């Protein structure tokens, strides 16, 4: 599976660029402006102006590994959809429905389906369906938790003003706004996304711009410069990726409505293939209301320790008070005859 790890970097770039392009604020010329200016301003204004939206992100992948190694092929389809709201950074809201299928080496099709909800104080989740992924995820680990809502309290301070308003976050926003992520942008006519008329722009991700962005963002986050070897390693990794597609901008209010694209992956002695992806964003800056699931049970991560899931009823047994009679037995004096037997055993060992 390590042969496919470069895919995670690629998809991070897709989500970063696609979901950040959510609001323009341009006036007048629309598509008559230079495409590069439109796209840069789209991402810049989205960082400042878009506080909430509905979204959908999907992938359809077909990847081949090195011949003779396992897995030789991986196919999967994945869809995420919901709403997000960061109007109040100290109490973000999120809903996310997850639906995925996939297999490797033409094996049995595996499935995952569930949902997440975040109201800024609790994370709620439900796993509606999941298969065992050819024995790698034993059913005993998850059967007690299927088809019911669970909740986990968000650790205190996670979304504190100190964290969400840190100077580093402001610097990162400025870096995103100042980066030209695309090259060779070209206006490509009128289209439709989620029932809204859009301008279309053909784009290709600028890999050198991404290298610079990742290096600078790491410096902002850690306060340290990347070494020359780290930069070269990142550049080599990105050379294996080509991302191109169509970026959508609403004709009504000049805000982004997402992107359709393809990621081509070619890694020496690694994964090769394509990932078709789509991401859409709509209903910007509308109120997002999180519906708290009724009867959600408290989830304790300790239940998943020791290599497998623990039945919740076992946790209740462990937390129950000890029978007083057991304490009496533990505190009772030892039978003298038992002491004599133990001394005889010790003498035999020494002899």
pLDDT at 128: 95
**Residue 301 structural domain:** 2-308
Whether 283 maps to a domain, the answer reads: yes
pLDDT at 305: 55
Per-residue pLDDT tens digits for 192-245: 989 888 889 999 999 999 999 999 999 998 999 999 999 999 999 999 999 999
User: Could you check whether the bond before residue 322 is cis, i.e. omega within 30 degrees of 0?
Assistant: no
Whether 196 maps to a domain, the answer reads: yes
pLDDT, mean over the chain:
81
Per-residue pLDDT tens digits for 231-289: 999 999 999 999 999 998 877 777 788 899 999 999 887 889 999 999 999 999 999 99
pLDDT at 123: 97
Number of separate domains in the chain: 1
pLDDT(26) > 50: no
d(CA 330, CA 334): 9
Per-residue pLDDT tens digits for 149-159: 999 999 988 99
pLDDT(335) > 70: no
**Is 5:265 a contact under the CB 8 Å cutoff?**
no
| Confidence band of 62 (pLDDT split at 50, 70, 90) | very high
Tell me which range, 33-42, 220-229, 309-318, is most confidently predicted by mean pLDDT. Answer: 220-229
DSSP line for 306-320? TTS---HHHHHHHHS
pLDDT(316) > 70: no
Whether 292 maps to a domain, the answer reads: yes
Whether 321 maps to a domain, the answer reads: no
pLDDT(173) > 50: yes
Whether 338 maps to a domain, the answer reads: no
Terminal Cα-to-Cα distance of the chain (whole angstroms): 59
Per-residue pLDDT tens digits for 295-308: 999 998 776 554 44
d(CA 209, CA 207): 5
Per-residue pLDDT tens digits for 11-23: 455 544 444 443 3
pLDDT at 2: 42
Residues 6+ apart with CB under 8 A from 145: 127, 309
d(CA 156, CA 121): 9
Pair of tokens at residue 35: 């495409």
d(CA 283, CA 195): 12
Whether 94 maps to a domain, the answer reads: yes
Whether 72 maps to a domain, the answer reads: yes
DSSP line for 22-77? ------S-GGGS-HHHHHHHHHHHHHHH--EEEEEEEEEEEEE--TTSS-SEEEEE
For the chain, percent of residues with pLDDT exceeding 90: 50
pLDDT at 318: 45
Instruction: Provide the 10 A C-beta neighbour count for residue 193.
Output: 21
Whether 316 maps to a domain, the answer reads: no
Angle separating helix axes 228-238 and 207-222, nearest 10 degrees:
140
pLDDT at 339: 47
> Beta strand 93-104 with 110-118: parallel, antiparallel or unpaired?
antiparallel
pLDDT at 321: 52
284 vs 45, 46, 56, CA distance in Å? 13, 10, 13
């Amino acid at each position: 599976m390590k042969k496919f790890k470069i895919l995670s970097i690629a998809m991070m770039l897709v989500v970063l660029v696609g979901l950040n392009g959510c609001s323009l604020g341009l006036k007048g010329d629309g598509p008559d402006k230079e495409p590069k200016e439109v796209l840069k301003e789209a991402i810049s204004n989205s960082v400042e102006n878009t506080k909430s939206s509905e979204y959908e992100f999907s992938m359809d992948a077909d990847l081949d590994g090195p011949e003779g190694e396992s897995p030789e092929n991986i196919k999967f389809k994945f869809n995420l959809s919901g709403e997000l709201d960061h109007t109040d950074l100290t109490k973000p809201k999120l809903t996310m429905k997850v639906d995925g299928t996939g297999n490797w080496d033409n094996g049995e099709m595996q499935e995952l389906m569930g949902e997440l909800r975040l109201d800024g104080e609790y994370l709620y989740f439900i796993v509606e369906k999941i298969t065992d992924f050819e024995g790698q995820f034993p059913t005993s680990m998850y059967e007690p938790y299927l088809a019911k809502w669970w909740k986990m309290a968000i650790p205190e301070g996670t979304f504190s003003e100190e964290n969400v308003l840190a100077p580093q976050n402001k610097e990162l926003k400025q870096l995103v706004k100042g980066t030209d992520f695309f090259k060779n942008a070209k206006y490509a006519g009128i289209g439709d996304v989620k029932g809204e008329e859009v301008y279309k722009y053909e784009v290709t991700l600028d890999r050198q711009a991404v290298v610079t962005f990742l290096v600078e963002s790491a410096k902002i986050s850690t306060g340290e410069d990347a070494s020359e070897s780290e930069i070269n390693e990142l550049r080599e990794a990105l050379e294996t990726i080509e991302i191109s597609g169509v970026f959508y901008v609403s004709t009504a209010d000049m805000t982004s409505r997402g992107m359709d694209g393809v990621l081509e992956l070619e890694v020496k002695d690694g994964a090769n293939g394509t990932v078709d992806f789509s991401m859409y964003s709509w209903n910007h800056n509308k109120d997002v209301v999180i519906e708290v699931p009724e009867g959600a049970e408290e989830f304790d991560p300790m239940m998943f320790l020791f290599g497998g899931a623990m039945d919740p009823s076992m946790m209740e047994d462990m937390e129950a008070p000890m029978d007083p009679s057991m304490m009496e037995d533990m505190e009772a004096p030892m039978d003298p005859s038992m002491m004599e037997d133990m001394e005889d055993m010790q003498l035999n060992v020494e002899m």
